[in-house]
Structure 1
Amino acid sequence: MILPILAAIITASFVYQFNGWLLVLLSLLIIRICCMKNRKLLLLVLLCSFFVVVRTYFYVAALEAPQEKIVQQVMQVEADSLTIDGNFLTLKGKLSGKTYLVYYTLTSEAEKEQWQGPNIVDQVLLSGETQNFEPARNLNGFNQRHYYQSLGISQLLLADSISLRKQTGFHLKNLRQHLIIAIDSKYPPRLASYIKALVIGYKDSEFDEYGSLYREIGLLHLFTLSGLHIQFYLGGIHLVLKRLGLIRETRLVLLSISGGLLILLTGGSFSTIRAVMSFLIAFCCLTLQLALSKLDQWSIMLLGLVFCFPLVLWSIGAQLSLYFALILLYLSDLKLKAWQHSLLFSLCSLPLLIYSFSEWAIVGGLFTLLLFPLFEWVILPCCVVLFIGSFIPLPSFLSQLVAFLFQLVEKVLELLLIPNLTIGKPTFLLLLVLIGLVLISFDRIKADKKLYGPFLVASLLVVSIAHSEKGLVAFVDVGQGDSIFIKLPFKQETFLIDTGGRLTFQQAAWQRRKQKHSSDYQLLPLLKSLGCDQVDHLIITHNDADHMGELSHVLDEIKIKNLYLAKGSQMELRVFLTKVKQTKIHLVTRGDIIGEQLKLHVLSPTVSQGANDDSIVTYFQVNQQKFLLTGDLETTGEQKLLEHYPRLKTDFLKVGHHGSNTSTSLAFLSALAPEYGIISAGKKNRYGHPTAETISKLREQNIKIFRTDQNGMIYYQWSGITKRGEIKQLIDFPE
C-alpha cells in the first residue's frame, strides 16, 4: 500500500508547488513499481493518483482568491480562535464559504472590554480588505502562505470595522469555547493553561509563556494531543464498552462516534485526527479480521488524511506527527530496552527535526523517557479529573497537588537544562538521504547487523550542513531596520552588522501588547538554519533602535565573540555594556580593520555621538565583488567619505538610511558607480521609505535596485570551490 499512496501524494504535491527533487523521487518510485510487474499495483497507483490529484486541484483552487474589499458582511466565527493582545484582535471565521484569518486594531478601551466579556462570539459584522498570505521573507524562514493554506485558511482579512452580533444560540461547534471558559473560571492561569493543552488541545498565549521551558528542552510534544492522549481517551471508552458486554461491531460504531466528538472538542488538530484515524483503522482491522500490516494501516491513514486535507503535508506539525508515528511503527517490531527505544527514537527523529527547527534538543529523548510515564499515569489522568472538576465540586487539594507536580518537574528541568545543539537546516535532498539512512538502519537492526556504516555517513552529512562550501552576504529582512549577515565558505568566519529592532512609541496600558522579540522570527531562525551557533564579529553601526534594538536578545541567544562599536558611541550604552559578559568589546574608528580571514575596512567615523552620520561604514571584497555598507549615513557623511576616499568604488551599495531623502546624493552615486543598490526598509512603513526621490536617483544612475520591503531577504551567494557567485532574492516583485 505504501508505494501507490506515496506516488499519489507526490504527484498531487505538484499541483500546489513544483519541487525538482520530488520529481526525481516520483520517477524512482514509478520505476520501482514498474519493475515489480504487478498490474493490480499499477492500477492502484493510477486510481490513487487520480483521486488525490483531482481533490488537491479543487482544494487549492478554492483557496486562491483575488484581493477584494469586504463591506458590512456577516462572518461565522470559530469561537475558540478569538485572541486579544493589547489593542490587537485576531480571529478565524467563514465568509461566503471561505475561511479567513482576521486582524483588527481595537480603537478604545471600552471596545476592548466589550470583546473580553464572557459571551461566546459566533458572528461578527465587519468591513475590510482581504490580502494574500506572504511566502517566506527570509531564507529558510516561516512561510505564512504554506502554513495557513495547509489549515484551509484562504486569506488574511484586515478589518477596518468589526462589531459583535447577537449570539444565535448554542452550537456544538462552540462547545469547546464553553469548556475553555469553564476551565479558566475554575483554576489559576498557569494550571488552567496546562489543563486546556493536555485535555482539549487548546494552547493560548499564556501557554506560549508558561510552556517555553518545555519547548526549549524538546518536551512540547507531551502537551500535544497525539497517540498518548487518544489511546487514553478511546482506550478508556473501549474498556467501558467492553465491560458492558457490547460486541466488537457495536464498539466500532460507538468508538467512531466518540472519535469524531473528540476531534471536534479538541479543535481538529492534525495530530489528533491522525491518532484517532490510526486507532480506528487498527480496531477496524481487528473487528473485520483484515490482515493488514502496521505499515499498510499507516499508509491508509495517510491517504485518508491527505484526501480530507490535501495540503496537510505542508504543515510542520503534521509532518512531525506522521514521521514520528512511522518511526514508532518500525520500533514496535524491535525487541529493545526502554533506554534503547528512547535513544533510537531520538536519533531517528533528528533528520526532520533539524529540517524543521535547525537545532536538536540533546536531552529531549532522555527527559521524554523519564517523564512519559509520569504524564501517562499521573499528570494526564489528574488533569482529566480536574477538567471534570470544572463542572462538579472537587477537593481543592487535588488541583494544588497537580500544580505542585508541574512546579517540581519545571524546577528539575531548569536545573538540568542544556542548550540545544544548533546543526543547521539540511537541503531537501539531504533530508531524503538522511531518512533513507534511517530506513536502512532499521533493516540492519532486523538483520542483526552493526550500524557503524549508516551512523558514520549520517554524522558526516549532519556536520557538513553548518560547514557548507557556500559563502553568503545576506541583507536580512528585519522590517524597518538593518541587519546584514556575512558567512565565509566552510564557516571560516562570520560577521553580523546590526541586529534590527522595533522603534517603540508611547501607548496607553490597555494598548500595550506582550513583548516579543522580532529577531526570534527573522534574524535568529536564519542564523540557526545556516548552522551558526556563534558569531565571530558583531558590528553595531549606531545606536538607533532599528539597528541595535535586538542586540540584548541576540547576545542571550547566540554566543558573540567580538562586539564592535564606533568610538564615542559607547557613552550612551555604558549601562548596557556593563552587563555584557563573555564578549570582547572593541571601539573602532576610521582606518581600523575588523576580521581575520575577511577584512572589513572601517571608513567612518573618527568619533561617534551615535547619530546617523556617525554610522560605522565598512568596505570589503569577497569573490572579487566589492561591498560598501553605510548604515544610516546621510548626505553630509557621504560627502566626508568621498573627501577621504575619492577613488572609492563598489559593486554593492547598501543604500543609507533605508532610502530616505536625507541620504544617497547623486554625487555619491556617481562617484561610487555601484551595480546594485540594496535598500533595507519595512513593508508599508510609516516613514515612506524608500522615497520616490531616492529611487529616481538610483534609476538615473542605472543601478539595479533590490528592496527588502518588496523582495524580502536579498543575498549574494558564492561557491568556495568553483568561485561562481550570484545575487538572489526571496520574493520576485513585479517592477
Structure 2
Amino acid sequence: MNPRHAVLSACSAFYGIWLSQNPSITGLVVTAFLVIVMVLQIRKKSVYILVFLPIFFIYSQYDNTKSFSKLPEEQMIFTGKVKSIPKIDGNLLSFELVTFDETIVVHHKIKSADEKDQLRNLRINLTCTLKGKLQEPRRNSHFYGMDYREYLRNNNIYWTLRTAEFDLDHCKEADDPSVLEQINTWRSKSIKELESLFSKNTAGLMNALLFGYRDGIEAETLQHYQGLGLTHLLAVSGFNVGIVTYFLYLLLVRLGVVIEVAYTLIILFLPIYIVLTGAESSIIRAGMMGMIVIVIMMFRRRVHPVTLLSFVCIGMLSYDPSSALDLGFQLSFLMTFVLITSVYVLENSSAIVLLIMTSFICSLFSFPIILYHFFEFSLLSIPFNVIYIPFVSMVLFPISFFILILSLSVPKAILIVKEIIEYLFNFSVLFMEKAQFLKMSIVLGRPDHWIFVLYFVAIVYFLYKWEISKRISIVITIPFLLICFIHWGLPYVNPKATVSFINVGQGDSILVELPYRKAVYLIDTGGSVSFDQEDWEKREVGYDVTKEVVYPFLKARGIRHLDGLIITHGDLDHAGGGEFLLDNIKVNNVFLPLKQTENNIETLIQTAATRNNINVVKLAKGMQWESAHTLFLVLHPGVKESTSNNNSIVLWVKVYDRTFLFTGDIEEEAETEVINSFPRIKSDVLKVGHHGSMTSSTESFLDSVSPRYGIISAGENNMYGHPALEVLKRLRERGIFIFRTDQHGDISFVVDKAGLKVITAQ
C-alpha cells in the first residue's frame, strides 16, 4: 500500500472517532478540510480511504451503546480478583477489582496502623470478598480539569466502591491462575522487590523504566519531568522494545539457536513483555510493530515503516475506539510518525545533529497537544531532551535492567553497587530540580479548537518546506510564530469580561478578567483545611486546592500575571493558597482588609509579598478605582473592628452595565453595616456570604441588594451543612437564580455591552 494512502487511512479512522466523541463546528470544518486534502492526494480508485472516517464514526457510536455497567447499584457484597497493584497512601487503600467480568475501583479507608500493616500483604490476583456501596465516579467539576468519569469510562470502568467492610482474611490465592495472572503476579513481586532494595525515588524510576509502573515515583519528581517536557521518558516505548529484543536476539544466537527459531521465540516473548510493562498504548504499539517487523523479515518482505505504523494504528482503533482519546496513544503514534519521517530528512546528519533535530521536531509536533493538556510549554524541553534521552536510554535503563537481573539471580550483589546506583538516580533528579528555577515556561493557555488546528497546519507547512529546501529559514517559521502570537494576543482584543467562580470545595476563589485583558484580579485563593492525624494516616502528598485547581485554572486562561490578589480575610479556606501563588506567579499588588491586628495567614502573605517585592494595599470602606469599563468600589470593612468574618472585604464591581457584589464571609452584623452605608447599592450577581451559612444573607440584605443571580461557593457534602436550607429558601422566594459550586462546578459569567451569559462546568 502507498505509505501516503496508509497515513491518510489512519488519520481518517482516528478523526472519525474523535469527531464522534467531540462534535463541534470546528470539527466539521476540519472534516471538510481533511476530505479536501484526501481528494487532492488520492486517485479515484483509492477513494476507499475516505470511507474510514464514516465507518469509524459509526463504529465509535456503536461502541458507546455497549459501554454500560451490568452491576446493580443496590448491590452491597462483591467477590472478585484484585486486578491492579494495591496502592496505600496514608489511610487510603485503592485498587481495581474484577467482579462479574466488570472492573470497579475500590477505595478503602484504613482504620488503624495495625490494619495498614496487614493490608500491605494485599497482592494482585488475590480473590477477595468485600462489602460496600457503589458510587458513580465523580463528574468533572472544572472547566480545565481532568474528567475522571470519562477517563474510567474509556477504560470500561463505571463504578467506584466505598468499602464498609474489608479484611485480608476474606482474601485467598487463586486455585489455578492463568498465564496472564502469573505474569502479572511476577511483575508485581519484582516491583515490590525493587521498592524494598532502594529508596522510593530510585525504585520508582526503575519501575517506571522497566515495568511502566509510575505510582512509586515521588509526586515532586513527576512534576519536574512534566515541567521540562520529559514525561515520555518514563513510559516504556519503542526504544525499550528495541533494546530488549536486540539483546534477546544476541543471546539466542550466541546459544546456537537457529535464526528462524530465534525470531519465533522473540515473537512469542513480545506479548509477555507488553503485559510485563503495563500494556499502555505506547508499548502495545511498539510491541505490535516489533512482531510484525519480525514476521516480515522471516518472509523476506519489505513494508514501509509509515505503512506499518498506520496499520497498527487502525488495528488498535478497531479493537478499542476509545483509545483514540488517550493522550498516550496520541503522542505515541504522532511521535513515532515524526521520527520515521524525520529520518529521511536528516539521513546524512551526524548522530548529535540527528538527536538535536529529532528532539526539536518531536517538541514542535507535541507543542499543541502539550498546550491543550498542560497550558504551558517549557523552552528547556529541547535541550533537556537532547541530554536526557541518551542518559535515560543508554545509562538509567540498562542499569535498571542489570539490577533487575541481579535481584533475580544474585540479590546480595546489589549491596555492592547500591550506593552508586542511588547517587546516579538522585543526581539525575537533583539536576532536574535545579533546572526548575530557570522558569523558562511559556504560558499560553488552552488553545481553542480552531487555534489547535491552525497550529498543526503551520507545523506541517514548516516541515514540508524544510523537506523541500533541506534547510530551515526564518520565512518558513513565520506561520507557526504567527499562530503563537494570535494565541497569545486573543485575550487582549476580546471586549468581553469574564468573572469565574472557581470550584475550590469549601472555600472561595473568584477570577475577574476585565475587557481587553486590561487587568486581572483574583479574589481569594481557596485553601485546603487540614485535620490532626497520626503519622500513619498522613498522605504522601497533601491535597492543595490552590496548587491543583486555582493555579492550573489561571494557566489554562493564559494568565501570566495578576494585577491584584485580593484577600477578603485571613481564613484558611479563603487565603490558604496566598503564599504559594505569590511565590509562583507575578503579582503587582496584594490587597488585604484594613484592620489593627492580623492573623497568621495574613502575616505570611505580607511576608511573601515583601519577599517578592510586591506592593501591599490595605482596603477600607469608600476606596475605589477604575479600569477598562470597570469600576471597583470597597463597601467594607469600616473603622469598627469585629470578627475575622465580619472584617471581610466587600467589593462591588461594575463591568459595563452589569454589577457584581463579592461579600467574603460577612455575616448579619457586617451586612447591616453595608446596607446602612450604601442603601442604594444593587447587584445583578451576588456572591452569597459565608458559603450560604445561616448567619448570612438576611432578608433585609437580600431585599436591599436585589440580585438576579446568587452564587454559593461550598464543598460537596461539607461538614458544616452549607448552604443552609433557610438561606436557599430566602433566595428562591425572591426569584434569585441559584448557582452552586458543589452542584455546578466552576461557574463563569461572560459580560459584554449586550448583557451577561452564565456558563457552568456541570
For normalisation by structure 2, the TM-score amounts to 0.89
Deviation at 1:712, TM superposition (A): 0.8
Identity %: 27
Distance 1:202 1:7 in 2: 32
Query: 1:154 is paired with a residue of what secondary structure?
Result: strand
Deviation at 1:93, TM superposition (A): 1.6
Distance 2:314 2:143 in 1: 31
**Letter in structure 1 aligned against 2:480:** A
Matched-pair contact (CA < 8 Å) for 1:594–1:602: no
Distance 2:247 2:458 in 1: 38
**Letter in structure 2 aligned against 1:276:** G
Q: Does 1:565 align with 2:592?
A: yes
Task: Tell me: CA distance 1:595–1:190, structure 2 relative to 1, closer, same or farther (3 Å).
Answer: farther
2:132 aligns with 128
Shifted more, 177-186 versus 53-62: the winner is: 53-62
Task: Tell me: CA distance 1:105–1:500, structure 2 relative to 1, closer, same or farther (3 Å).
Answer: same
**Letter in structure 1 aligned against 2:415:** S
The correspondence for 1:483, drawn from 492, 504, 509, is 509
Distance 1:492 1:67 in 2: 53
Query: 2:530 is paired with a residue of what secondary structure?
Result: coil
Matches within 5 A, 1:451-530: 451-467=473-489, 468=491, 469=494, 470-514=496-540, 515-530=542-557
The correspondence for 1:279, drawn from 280, 290, 297, is 290
Distance 2:201 2:359 in 1: 29
Query: 1:365 is paired with a residue of what secondary structure?
Result: helix
Matched-pair contact (CA < 8 Å) for 2:81–2:125: no
Matched-pair contact (CA < 8 Å) for 1:473–1:486: yes
Distance 1:454 1:526 in 2: 33
Point out where structure 1 has 5 or more consecutive residues left out of the alignment. Answer: none
Deviation at 1:314, TM superposition (A): 1.9
**Letter in structure 1 aligned against 2:655:** V
Distance 1:584 1:354 in 2: 32
2:23 aligns with 18
Deviations along 1:541-577, whole A, 9 cap, x unmatched? 1121111122222223222221111012762136523
Matched-pair contact (CA < 8 Å) for 1:590–1:604: yes
**Letter in structure 2 aligned against 1:113:** D
2:3 aligns with none
Deviation at 1:690, TM superposition (A): 1.4
Query: 1:390 is paired with a residue of what secondary structure?
Result: helix
**Letter in structure 1 aligned against 2:632:** L
Task: Tell me: CA distance 1:282–1:452, structure 2 relative to 1, closer, same or farther (3 Å).
Answer: farther
Matches within 5 A, 1:627-706: 627-706=660-739
Matched-pair contact (CA < 8 Å) for 2:621–2:638: yes
1:74 aligns with 79
Point out where structure 2 has 5 or more consecutive residues left out of the alignment. Answer: 1-5
Distance 1:578 1:554 in 2: 13
Task: Tell me: CA distance 1:123–1:520, structure 2 relative to 1, closer, same or farther (3 Å).
Answer: farther
Query: 1:70 is paired with a residue of what secondary structure?
Result: coil
Deviation at 1:120, TM superposition (A): 5.2
Deviations along 1:481-515, whole A, 9 cap, x unmatched? 11000112443211000111122222233222232
Matched-pair contact (CA < 8 Å) for 1:566–1:589: yes
Matched-pair contact (CA < 8 Å) for 1:501–1:549: yes
**Letter in structure 2 aligned against 1:262:** Y
2:396 aligns with 379
The correspondence for 1:441, drawn from 462, 470, 481, is 462
Shifted more, 202-211 versus 320-329: the winner is: 202-211
The correspondence for 2:760, drawn from 705, 729, 732, is 729
Deviation at 1:205, TM superposition (A): 4.4
Over the aligned positions, Cα root-mean-square deviation in angstroms equals 2.6
1:90 aligns with 94
2:147 aligns with 143
2:172 aligns with 166
Task: Tell me: CA distance 1:314–1:120, structure 2 relative to 1, closer, same or farther (3 Å).
Answer: closer
Distance 1:554 1:391 in 2: 47
**Letter in structure 2 aligned against 1:3:** L
Distance 2:388 2:466 in 1: 27
Distance 1:682 1:728 in 2: 19
Deviations along 1:306-333, whole A, 9 cap, x unmatched? 2233211222232222222222223222
Deviations along 1:193-215, whole A, 9 cap, x unmatched? 22111111111244324444333
Query: 2:129 is paired with a residue of what secondary structure?
Result: strand
Distance 1:466 1:677 in 2: 33
Task: Tell me: CA distance 1:665–1:28, structure 2 relative to 1, closer, same or farther (3 Å).
Answer: same
Matched-pair contact (CA < 8 Å) for 2:200–2:218: no
Deviation at 1:686, TM superposition (A): 1.9
**Letter in structure 2 aligned against 1:613:** N
1:612 aligns with 645
1:116 aligns with 120
Task: Tell me: CA distance 1:510–1:569, structure 2 relative to 1, closer, same or farther (3 Å).
Answer: farther
Matched-pair contact (CA < 8 Å) for 1:67–1:131: no
Deviations along 1:177-204, whole A, 9 cap, x unmatched? 1111221222233322221111111112
2:358 aligns with 341
Matched-pair contact (CA < 8 Å) for 1:147–1:314: no
Task: Tell me: CA distance 1:138–1:62, structure 2 relative to 1, closer, same or farther (3 Å).
Answer: closer
Query: 1:553 is paired with a residue of what secondary structure?
Result: helix
Task: Tell me: CA distance 1:465–1:376, structure 2 relative to 1, closer, same or farther (3 Å).
Answer: same
Deviations along 1:361-406, whole A, 9 cap, x unmatched? 2112101112222222222111111112222222534232222222
**Letter in structure 1 aligned against 2:142:** N
Task: Tell me: CA distance 1:596–1:346, structure 2 relative to 1, closer, same or farther (3 Å).
Answer: same
Distance 2:657 2:721 in 1: 34
Distance 1:473 1:65 in 2: 42
Deviation at 1:536, TM superposition (A): 1.3
Task: Tell me: CA distance 1:183–1:585, structure 2 relative to 1, closer, same or farther (3 Å).
Answer: same
Distance 1:491 1:331 in 2: 40
Deviations along 1:129-172, whole A, 9 cap, x unmatched? 32333443222222112322233322222222223312225641
Deviations along 1:520-552, whole A, 9 cap, x unmatched? 321111100111122110011112111112222
Deviation at 1:76, TM superposition (A): 1.5
1:406 aligns with 425
Deviations along 1:99-151, whole A, 9 cap, x unmatched? 11122212233322211237556222222232333443222222112322233
Distance 1:481 1:549 in 2: 10
Deviation at 1:655, TM superposition (A): 0.7
The correspondence for 2:225, drawn from 173, 196, 214, is 214
Distance 1:369 1:65 in 2: 49
Distance 2:339 2:240 in 1: 16
**Letter in structure 2 aligned against 1:229:** N
Deviation at 1:44, TM superposition (A): 5.4
Deviation at 1:241, TM superposition (A): 4.0
The correspondence for 2:67, drawn from 33, 40, 62, is 62
Distance 2:592 2:96 in 1: 46
Task: Tell me: CA distance 1:249–1:683, structure 2 relative to 1, closer, same or farther (3 Å).
Answer: farther
Query: 2:321 is paired with a residue of what secondary structure?
Result: coil
The correspondence for 1:46, drawn from 29, 48, 51, is 51
Deviation at 1:248, TM superposition (A): 6.3
Task: Tell me: CA distance 1:99–1:119, structure 2 relative to 1, closer, same or farther (3 Å).
Answer: closer
Task: Tell me: CA distance 1:463–1:157, structure 2 relative to 1, closer, same or farther (3 Å).
Answer: farther
**Letter in structure 1 aligned against 2:464:** D
Alignment length, in residue pairs? Answer: 728
Deviation at 1:17, TM superposition (A): 4.4
Matched-pair contact (CA < 8 Å) for 1:278–1:298: yes
Task: Tell me: CA distance 1:473–1:389, structure 2 relative to 1, closer, same or farther (3 Å).
Answer: same
Task: Tell me: CA distance 1:347–1:42, structure 2 relative to 1, closer, same or farther (3 Å).
Answer: closer
Task: Tell me: CA distance 1:5–1:370, structure 2 relative to 1, closer, same or farther (3 Å).
Answer: closer
2:447 aligns with 426
Task: Tell me: CA distance 1:569–1:500, structure 2 relative to 1, closer, same or farther (3 Å).
Answer: farther
Distance 1:249 1:225 in 2: 27
Matches within 5 A, 1:288-299: 288-299=299-310
Matched-pair contact (CA < 8 Å) for 1:182–1:391: no
**Letter in structure 2 aligned against 1:422:** V
Task: Tell me: CA distance 1:281–1:718, structure 2 relative to 1, closer, same or farther (3 Å).
Answer: farther
Distance 2:299 2:708 in 1: 71
